[in-house]
């Protein structure tokens, strides 16, 4: 029961890891700290406002530890205390390691883990780089860690699932994760794990995400930043990586690309340049997978591939294109490329809603490239697809 009292204690507003650890050390256990009288709590040095928050929560939920235990059991949510055997050793080693981890799936505490993070406003370049690096690392037995958000996080998880397993560290409770990535999270729970330090039903709040980033860095042997502007939240994770003495990689970008300025600056300051997974394997002394590393597909096979004849174009006076004759997945993807222009992430979500079969990011990229070669779709400077 001790870890459930620690969970109750860290549910108190303004009682984080450091204050909870202080209370547990002072009173001898999380249970004793949770049940301590007001005067003794004040003697520890807690601000009166924090003590009142604890007393108020305790009055409202006198059996909170038991309720957390029962709720997690009913929802099949694992609870891992910092002293438990299934708590990852790398994470335990950081100064402000969470006392409690809630999870769904399998943590695999001894697994090799590398984090991939970056902007939510991903470009086509970022999509391809993230997918390739994540998949190649996963094929080498590396668990990919990211934050479950849209953008680079989503592509890191999807690429990892193409080659192996992944962990999503949430900035909210496991039961409160965002619905936009529900299908992806279902796959992650089956083949990896969702992890959070927050109680299962706690909604996402802005201050929780920077705190979440320390767990992403703490879990990992290395952190890779793919795309990040100068004010990107991914730079918090990079700073934690430096603080925790993790290897820090950055994928280079154009000197004119706003979303690569943060990465280029990291490289300038000493981050290891990551052009592909091979650079990560070399720096981390990891054996590359026996199979060939993924690369952007060549255009030649797609050109040689038999192309279904399209109907003749409408007359120039009408300036309309007849609907092309396509089959199967090409027809599905073409039907999704309607206004407004949409990036790969958005098209994946549309495909998930429109079809029972879940297209992988690599499959979707290949189909879009085929459609581009056929002159049916185009990509703008933001990596968004639309019909010609």
pLDDT tens for each residue of 374-384: 788 888 766 78
pLDDT for 178 beyond 80: no
Assigned token pair, 244? 């925790």
78 versus 307: the higher-pLDDT residue is: 78
Helix, strand and coil in the chain, % to nearest 5:
45, 10, 40
Residue 103, pLDDT score: 96
pLDDT for 249 beyond 50: yes
- Residue 294's pLDDT band (boundaries 50, 70, 90)? low
pLDDT for 308 beyond 80: no
Residue 293, pLDDT score: 62
* Contact status, residue 169 vs residue 196, Cβ threshold 8 Å: yes
pLDDT for 301 beyond 50: no
Q: What is the pLDDT of residues 94-113, one digit of tens each?
A: 999 999 999 999 999 999 99
* Contact status, residue 87 vs residue 109, Cβ threshold 8 Å: yes
* Contact status, residue 205 vs residue 185, Cβ threshold 8 Å: no
* Contact status, residue 154 vs residue 127, Cβ threshold 8 Å: no
3-state SS, 130-170, equals HHHHHHHHHHCCCEEEECCCCCHHHHHHHHHHHHCCEEEEC
Domains and CATH numbers, the chain: 2-73 (1.10.150), 89-284 (3.40.50.450), 299-387 (1.10.10.10)
What one-character DSSP code corresponds to residue 305?
S
State the average pLDDT over residues 347-357. 75
Residue 387, pLDDT score: 86
- Residue 291's pLDDT band (boundaries 50, 70, 90)? low
Element (H, E) at 213: helix 208-218
Assigned token pair, 190? 């089956």
- Residue 298's pLDDT band (boundaries 50, 70, 90)? very low
pLDDT for 48 beyond 50: yes
54 versus 208: the higher-pLDDT residue is: 54
> Beta strands 272-273 and 385-387: pairing type?
unpaired
Kindly report the pTM of this predicted structure: 0.75
Mean pLDDT of all residues in the chain?
86
């Amino acid at each position: 029961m001790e870890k459930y009292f620690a969970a109750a204690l860290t549910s108190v507003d303004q009682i984080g890891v450091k204050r909870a650890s202080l209370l547990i050390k002072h009173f001898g256990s999380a249970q004793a700290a949770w049940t301590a009288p007001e005067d003794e709590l004040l003697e520890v040095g807690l601000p009166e406002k924090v003590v009142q928050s604890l007393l108020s929560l305790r009055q409202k939920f006198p059996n909170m530890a038991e309720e957390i235990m029962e709720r997690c059991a009913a929802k099949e949510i694992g609870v891992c205390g910092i002293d438990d055997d299934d708590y990852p050793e790398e994470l335990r080693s950081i100064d402000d390691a969470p006392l409690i981890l809630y999870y769904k799936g399998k943590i695999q505490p001894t697994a090799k883990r590398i984090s991939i993070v970056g902007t939510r406003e991903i470009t086509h370049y970022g999509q391809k780089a993230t997918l390739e690096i994540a998949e190649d690392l996963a094929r080498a037995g590396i668990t990919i860690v990211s934050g479950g958000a849209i953008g680079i996080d989503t592509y890191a998880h999807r690429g990892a699932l193409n080659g192996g397993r992944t962990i999503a560290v949430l900035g909210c409770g496991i039961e409160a994760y965002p619905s936009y990535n529900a299908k992806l999270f279902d796959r992650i729970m089956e083949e990896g794990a969702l992890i959070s330090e927050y109680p299962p039903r706690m909604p996402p709040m802005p201050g929780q995400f920077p705190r979440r980033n320390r767990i992403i860095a703490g879990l990992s042997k290395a952190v890779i930043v793919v795309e990040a502007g100068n004010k990107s939240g991914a730079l918090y994770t990079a700073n934690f990586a430096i603080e925790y003495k993790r290897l820090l990689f950055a994928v280079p970008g154009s000197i004119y690309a706003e979303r690569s300025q943060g990465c280029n600056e990291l490289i300038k300051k000493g981050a290891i340049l990551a052009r592909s997974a091979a650079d990560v394997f070399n720096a981390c002394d990891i054996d590359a997978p026996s199979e060939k590393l993924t690369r952007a597909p060549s255009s030649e096979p797609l050109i040689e591939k038999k192309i279904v004849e399209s109907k003749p174009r409408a007359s120039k006076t009408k300036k309309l294109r007849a609907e092309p004759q396509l089959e199967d997945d090409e027809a599905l993807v073409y039907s999704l490329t309607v206004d407004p222009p949409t990036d790969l992430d958005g098209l994946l979500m549309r495909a998930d809603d429109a079809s029972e079969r879940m297209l992988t990011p690599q499959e979707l990229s290949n189909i879009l490239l085929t459609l581009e070669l056929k002159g049916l779709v185009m990509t703008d400077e933001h990596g968004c697809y639309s019909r010609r």
